[in-house]
Amino acid sequence: MKRASFFPLDIGSRGSCTVGGNVSTNAGGNRVLRYGMMRNLVLGLEAVLADGTVIDATHKMTKDNAGYDLKQLFVGSEGTLGVVTRAVLALHPKPSSQAVAFCSVPDFSCAIELLLFLKGALGGRLSAFEALWSNAYALILESVPRVRAPLPVGSPLYVLVESLGSDPRTDVPAFEKALEVAPENNWVTDVVIGRSTREMRALWEVRDAVSEAVLKLRPFISYDVSMPVGAMDLFASSIVERTARDWPGAKIGLFGHIGDGNIHIVTDIGADGTPRTVVDEFIYDATRAARGSISAEHGIGFQKRAWIGHTRSPQEIALMRAIKRTLDPDCLLSRGRIFPIDAAG
Ligand SMILES: Cc1cc2nc3c(=O)[nH]c(=O)nc-3n(C[C@H](O)[C@H](O)[C@H](O)COP(=O)(O)OP(=O)(O)OC[C@H]3O[C@@H](n4cnc5c(N)ncnc54)[C@H](O)[C@@H]3O)c2cc1C
């Protein structure tokens, strides 16, 4: 019998992105919790260097310790080291069961308890654990009228939970049973379970609508930071509190993949004339204090390159520049991305 397979990367730009872009940004998205980032899904690739050399590393092995893992040099390098022209991707068995629930959660610690519990209760089937802070939930509901609120506003946090499995007869009841236990432990205050494909899609649409909601922000500024999961709660509350104090009219929304320590922040701070660099400094200083990264899944690009020192040590940056100089001495590829255009742009 031929088994159906699928490629599990699922990101907000799924309708427009390319494999080359996914490789070059090491894209993440909604199902990293279960399947890993693009880095974990690339078995091999072909890349063309600045001098025209074709590096054929289209290997198909999972285990391959014959020297440096050259394909990983190109994953996440934002086109600065070579142009990715082919990729060998790892497929996974296509799931035959899906279960989705949307929960209101009293606080961040309950969300983490729920995550740990579901990881154990669902085994490897837990495929997404997506959080919306109350501010992001409100932003979606007021900006995207077609989205119906699955639960009332007012909870500090909302979590979308998904399980993907291979046996609908047992997976869905196990999912529902696990979510029955959660309120008993006070980890969630309310739960809506999608009972059909249409209802599950509607729950996902709430989470996905955030990309549409942000388009109403003027100016629209977004951040994509990561940090140890234990630091996220303090980080999130400090950001929200300072915004309310220093920019009382501003909107801010937090959402993200909390199982991966990834928070996205969207805001219109700056409508009052506050320069972008002041807002960047506010967010990136807080990220550094949390020992986090200024880019979880969107890369550095031109916008964040001035802040790379908040995340990487001088020695790490020097090594990155040395690799860039070796592979692209004339700085022909993606000039100015990641590093300023001087010694090794
Ligand atoms: C609405 C929206 C939602 C998004 N949601 C997510 C999300 O959930 N998770 C996530 O991780 N990202 C997300 N992103 C960011 C982005 O879409 C992803 O990082 C995606 O992987 C980029 O792919 P792309 O083909 O659009 O690349 P592009 O944006 O065209 O390029 C991205 C970078 O890769 C380089 N590049 C592109 N192709 C190649 C190639 N063949 N060889 C070498 N370098 C190359 C470019 O030079 C550039 O530096 C989102 C973006 C948008 C607009």
- Predicted confidence at residue 101, as pLDDT, reads 98
pTM above 0.85, yes or no: yes
Residue of the CA atom closest to atom 2 of ligand 1? 13
Q: 22 C-alpha vs ligand 1 centroid, how far in Å?
A: 5
Question: Does 79 contact ligand 1 (Cβ within 6 A)?
Answer: yes
The answer as to whether 47 is a domain residue is yes
CATH code (residue 168): 3.30.70.2190
10-residue mean pLDDT profile of the chain (345 residues): values are 88 94 95 96 98 97 94 97 98 96 98 96 94 98 97 97 95 95 93 97 97 95 97 97 97 94 96 96 98 96 96 96 96 92 59
Cis bond before residue 219 (omega within 30° of 0):
yes
Which atom of ligand 1 approaches the CA of 28 most closely? Answer: 11
Tokens found for residue 166: 């291979």
253: phi then psi, degrees, rounded to nearest 5: -135, 135
Residue of the CA atom closest to atom 49 of ligand 1? 78
- Predicted confidence at residue 3, as pLDDT, reads 78
Looking at the structure, do residues 40 and 116 belong to the same domain, yes or no? no
Round to whole Å and give the CA distance between 264 and 334: 25
The answer as to whether 332 is a domain residue is no
- Predicted confidence at residue 339, as pLDDT, reads 87
Looking at the structure, do residues 133 and 39 belong to the same domain, yes or no? no
The answer as to whether 210 is a domain residue is no
Is residue 171 within 8 A of residue 163, CB to CB? The reply is yes
Q: How many domains does the chain have?
A: 3
Question: Does 211 contact ligand 1 (Cβ within 6 A)?
Answer: yes
- Predicted confidence at residue 183, as pLDDT, reads 87
Round to whole Å and give the CA distance between 300 and 306: 9
The answer as to whether 333 is a domain residue is no
The answer as to whether 89 is a domain residue is yes
CATH code (residue 225): 3.30.70.2740
What is the domain range of residue 33?
5-93
Q: Of 58, 93, 128, which closes a domain?
A: 93
Which atom of ligand 1 approaches the CA of 297 most closely? Answer: 11
- Which of 175, 155, 159 is CA-nearest to residue 167? 175
